[in-house]
Amino acid sequence: MRRATTLLLLALAAPVAAQTARTEAAGLRMTVPNSWTRVPTPSEMRAAQYRVPRVATDTEDADLVLYFFGPGKGGSADDNLARWYGQFTQPDGKPSRDAAVVTTRKVADLKITSVDLPGTYAPGPMAGPPGAPKTNFRMLAAVVEGEGGPWFLKLVGPAATVAQAKPEFDALVGSLDAHH
C-alpha cells in the first residue's frame, strides 16, 4: 500500500514538474512555467525577459522582466514601489498607492516585497520608448533583497492575462533562491 501511495504521489507530481523549468539569471535561481517564452532582452539592465501568453479575450501578451543593476543598486523597496505607483493611474482618480496590494515575505534567505496593482499603465523611461497609456492593465512586481541583490521582477500586461498568470508568478516568487 505504501509503495502504491508513493507511486500515486509521484504520478500526480510529475505533470506539475514537467510544466516548469528551473533557470538562473543574474545570480537568482527561479522556476519558470514552460508556457512562458524567454525572449532576448533589449538592454543589459534586463537580466531575463519572458513573454506570458495572453488569454483569448486580450489583444496582447504580458511580459515578465527580471531587472538587475548590480549588487546594492536599483533602490530600496519603497523607492521602487513609489516609481511603480507612478506608472499607473486609477479610473476613480485615487492614488495608485491606495489601489495596490503590498505584501512582504521571506523566501529562503531573501526578503521579498511584492505589489499587485491594476489600472491604466503608462510605462516609465526604463520600459522602453513611451507609448500610449494602456487601460485595464495590471502589474505584479517584486523587490527581491538578499546577498548579491537586489533584483526586481515585474510582470505587466492586460488585466485578464495577468490575473491568469498570478498563481504562476506567485509560484515563481516562492521558488526564488540567490546563488552566491
Q: What is the DSSP string of 88-112?
A: EE-TTS--HHHH-EEEEEEETTEEE
Model-level pTM? 0.86
Residue 12 in this model has a pLDDT that exceeds 80: no
Which among 111, 113, 116 has a CA at the least distance from the CA of 178?
A: 111
pLDDT of residue 44: 87
| Fold of the 21-178 domain | Protein Transport Mog1p; Chain A (3.40.1000)
**Cell numbers at 118, concatenated:** 491594476
- Residue range 55-113, pLDDT digits in tens: 999 999 999 999 999 999 999 999 999 999 999 999 999 999 999 999 999 999 999 99
pLDDT computed for residue 90 by the predictor: 96
Transcribe the chain into DSSP letters.
-HHHHHHHHHHHHHHHHHTEEEEEETTEEEEEETTSEE---SSTTEEEEEEEPPPTT-SS-EEEEEE--STT-S--HHHHHHHHHHTEE-TTS--HHHH-EEEEEEETTEEEEEEEEEEEE---GGGSS----EEEEEEEEEEEESTT--EEEEEEEEHHHHHHHHHHHHHHHHT-EE--
How much of the chain exceeds pLDDT 90, in percent?
78
d(CA 29, CA 158): 27
Upstream peptide bond of 150 is cis (omega within 30 degrees of 0):
yes
pLDDT digits (tens, 9 = 90+) for 123-173: 766 555 567 899 999 999 999 999 999 999 999 999 999 999 999 999 999
φ/ψ of residue 103, rounded to 5:
-130, 155
